[in-house]
Structure formats: C-alpha cells, structure tokens
Amino acid sequence: MSVDELDPVIHAQARLKVVATLNALPGGDQIAFPGLKDLLGMTAGNLSVHLTKLEEAGYVDITKTHKGRTPVTYVALTKRGRAAFEDYTKAIRALLDNAGGTA
C-alpha cells in the first residue's frame, strides 16, 4: 500500500479532521455548523468548502433548518462516511506497519 492509494477525499488534512471529529459522534448524531467550526478552529468559508467536497462524496449529510427564525445547519457523518473513515484508518495502519520494517 502507498500513500497514493489512500482515499483522496479524506486524506486532505482539513477533511480528515472533519471526518475524525464527526466519527467521534454516535451514529445518527449531528452537530451544528458553528460548533463544528469552533471545535476544528476553522473559518466558516474553509469548513464550508471541505464539507461540500465530503457531501459530494456521500460522506456527510448536511441539513439546513430553522430554530425559530434563525437558520441552522447541522452536519452528520453518513454510514458511507463512517465506512470510508474505517477503511482509511485501516489503510493508514497497514501503511505504518509496512513502513516499520523499512527504516
């Protein structure tokens, strides 16, 4: 296995942080966009760009709703996103295990 074989959608540093954070939520749970932005220390624009890429891949579900008159955006990791993250972490572990003997 090589780095080139890792999921390019998840492998980008910012998206990896997003997916890892969302994966820590129980399945089916979601987080409000501002909370995720604050947890990750990202700007709204940067987070939005990465969430769009993850949504296009089917890895996150974005729900726009209202709390009273205030718009609220919720983000959740999909089952496909959880599976992709699990595959990604397995691939990273395998890559690290294989690299251990080449030092």
Residue 103 has pLDDT above 50, yes or no: no
- What digits encode the pLDDT tens for the residues 38-95? 999 999 999 999 999 999 999 999 999 999 999 999 999 999 999 999 999 999 999 8
**pLDDT band at residue 100 under the 50/70/90 scheme:** low
Q: Each residue of 46-84: b (16+ CB within 10 Å) or e?
A: ebeebbebbeebebbbeeeeeeeeeeebbbbbbeebeeb
Question: What pLDDT, on the 0 to 100 scale, is given for residue 102?
Answer: 53
Residue 2 has pLDDT above 80, yes or no: no
**pLDDT band at residue 3 under the 50/70/90 scheme:** low
**pLDDT band at residue 101 under the 50/70/90 scheme:** low
**pLDDT band at residue 27 under the 50/70/90 scheme:** confident
Question: What pLDDT, on the 0 to 100 scale, is given for residue 1?
Answer: 54
